[in-house]
Amino acid sequence: MTAETTGPANPPATAGGNSPVQLLEKHRDTLDQALEAIRSRAYWSPHPEHPKAYGAASGKEGSLGAEEGQAAFDALRGTRFELPGQPGTDGWTATESSPYGLGMGIEYPHPDPDRLLPAMRLAMPAWREAGPEARAAVCLEILARISARTHEFAHAVMHTSGQAFMMAFQAGGPHAQDRGMEAVAYAYVEQVRTPDAADWSKPQGKRDPLNLSKQFTAVGRGISLLIGCNTFPTWNGYPGLFASLATGNPVLVKPHPRAVLPLALTVRIAREVLHEAGFDPNLVALAAEREGEGLAKELAVRPEVRIIDYTGSTAFGEWLETHARQAQVYTEKAGVNTVVIDSTDDYRGMLGNLAFSLSLYSGQMCTTPQNLLIPRDGISTDDGDKSYDEVVADLAGAVGKLLGDDARANALLGAIVNPQVGERIDAAGSLGEVALASRSVTNPDFPGATVRTPVIIKLESAKPDAEAVYLSECFGPVSFAVAVESTPDAVALLRHTVREKGAMTVGAYTTSPDMERLIEDACLEECAQLSLNLTGGVYVNQTAAFSDFHGSGGNPAANAALVDGAFVSNRFRTVEVRRPA
């Protein structure tokens, strides 16, 4: 035996072999691939989209198959969701009700911020000292454990957001995990662009040089508050959660009261991984609120809270920006998304693509198109010229056909997330001429679900009352086919809409290079993300992590984009210590 083989095979490990060093070894390749992906922005994802890729057959440790995931979810219902070791629990709260009518009855710990926040702050120094690599490795292990339980998360997302199962599986599972990993990659790069140490030697002519030894440490800002949303609790939550954790901040997760479970599961997994890796699990904690409590408002202005991530209404987003002055505030608010329809060389493809975009998750996405701007004299297509009325009628027909089969409609629409959306659908008919009426669909598996097909309303841009209608966000499956004078007029209206109301997405169809340039220039100048001539299996309301930016951060719909340098760079600061060499 030589000296090499008598030593320990691995560096000292905590119980379970999940020391930071071991986790880094385990996830180094994935991190490197993620770093390459955000540089090239080519397609990449380590998280499979297909439900069959999970479970024992996947060969991945702890991976739950379809039945196991369902069972795990069912086992949570009607129980108390324990978070071992989370301090400052002040009673229990249950606020969820499935849009599918399923009984949830899960009780979560309600926090006493005066006890919880100080405990979270105590966790910071060791997390800071671990450094960016170890923090990234721990974050990637959290994501790997979440990924293994994607089937369980799919049910949790489905029964809180109302998404159909397949969408809850993909958007709430792999796509959300991708966005979280993207944030980890950006956070890592941002922290290591400054070296840990530098020797500085400044020449002084004939005298000796001045020599200093410098140390640079990335330090978190303080407690990061995640205010979750109802419709995409994981997808919209993971970027901020992982960006803050990876940059050295404890993260307090305040879920939407109707969508607690997906984030509560996330918190529990994060705490387990942190503990196993030798860190204080209070680096991630849950703050579930009581009905109507307004806990976010209370937490947002606590001096310990230095970062806030929020997705939701414009009103509360602006409240946060105005009042939480002690924090960096990242908000995604409401917007009005536009599609400019000028011309197409694939009329069928265009109609099919738009019909899918309007129908997916009943239009309850921040990225769903609302206003379809169509010249009132019609458009040219590969199927001949089409009048405004024809385009609208054909689109209504395409939606009707897409959702004609109830099983398919259920699979695509999911359930209406809350009664307010249903009320907006019912009220839409009074806003203009109905081109497509909404119908109710029965879900045989969940008779309690409210399932509604989209409404399309015809509006005249020139009519004085119309602008107030189409320039307000009408969240849900309501869209407006707005007749405009010409494509340049449509572009002018697009500019006005983005500037005044914001937009997460813009779509456009045109075969004219001049009109394409006009639309592109408008999006560049008004700072909106543009999808051109989508006719196949990519939709304007979907973005892919590592490649697409979600929002621009430069118009009123959101002050940040997922994910770029600006989303991570101000979550930490670099502290320098210099001394004579």
Task: List contacts with a second copy (CB under 8 A).
Answer: 38-43, 124-125, 128, 189-190, 193-195, 198-204, 210, 212, 214, 216-217, 219, 221, 321-322, 325, 520-521, 523-525, 527-538, 544, 547-549, 552-554, 561, 564-566, 569-570, 573-580
Q: What angle do CA 58, 159, 272 make, to 5 degrees?
A: 55
Nearer to a second copy, 371 or 531 (CB): 531
Side chain identity, residue 95: T
* Min CB(576)–a second copy separation in Å: 5
Query: What number of helices (H) and strands (E) belong to the chain?
Result: 20, 21
* DSSP for 267-327, written as a single string: HHHHHHHHHHTTS-GGGEEE----TT--HHHHHHT-TTEEEEEEES-HHHHHHHHHH-TTS
Nearer to a second copy, 161 or 247 (CB): 247
* Min CB(399)–a second copy separation in Å: 22
Nearer to a second copy, 212 or 462 (CB): 212
* Min CB(241)–a second copy separation in Å: 20
Nearest Cα neighbor of 26 from 143, 173, 186, 188 is 143
Side chain identity, residue 237: G
Cβ proximity of 165 and 415 under 8 Å: no
Side chain identity, residue 514: D
Size (the chain), residues: 581
Nearer to a second copy, 245 or 441 (CB): 245
Nearer to a second copy, 447 or 580 (CB): 580
Measured CA to CA, the distance from residue 289 to residue 395 in angstroms comes to 43
* Min CB(167)–a second copy separation in Å: 17
Nearest Cα neighbor of 358 from 339, 342, 376, 379 is 339
* Min CB(155)–a second copy separation in Å: 24
Q: Could you give the count of Cα atoms lying within 13 Å of 67 in the half-sphere of its Cβ? A: 2
What are the Cα distances from residue 310, in Å, to 255, 314, 339, 513?
Answer: 10, 10, 26, 39
* Min CB(407)–a second copy separation in Å: 21
Nearer to a second copy, 115 or 573 (CB): 573
Nearer to a second copy, 14 or 570 (CB): 570
* Min CB(64)–a second copy separation in Å: 22
- Burial (0-12, 13-18, 19+ Cβ within 10 Å), 5: exposed
Q: Which DSSP helix (H) or strand (E) runs through 369?
A: none
* Min CB(71)–a second copy separation in Å: 28
Nearer to a second copy, 181 or 425 (CB): 181
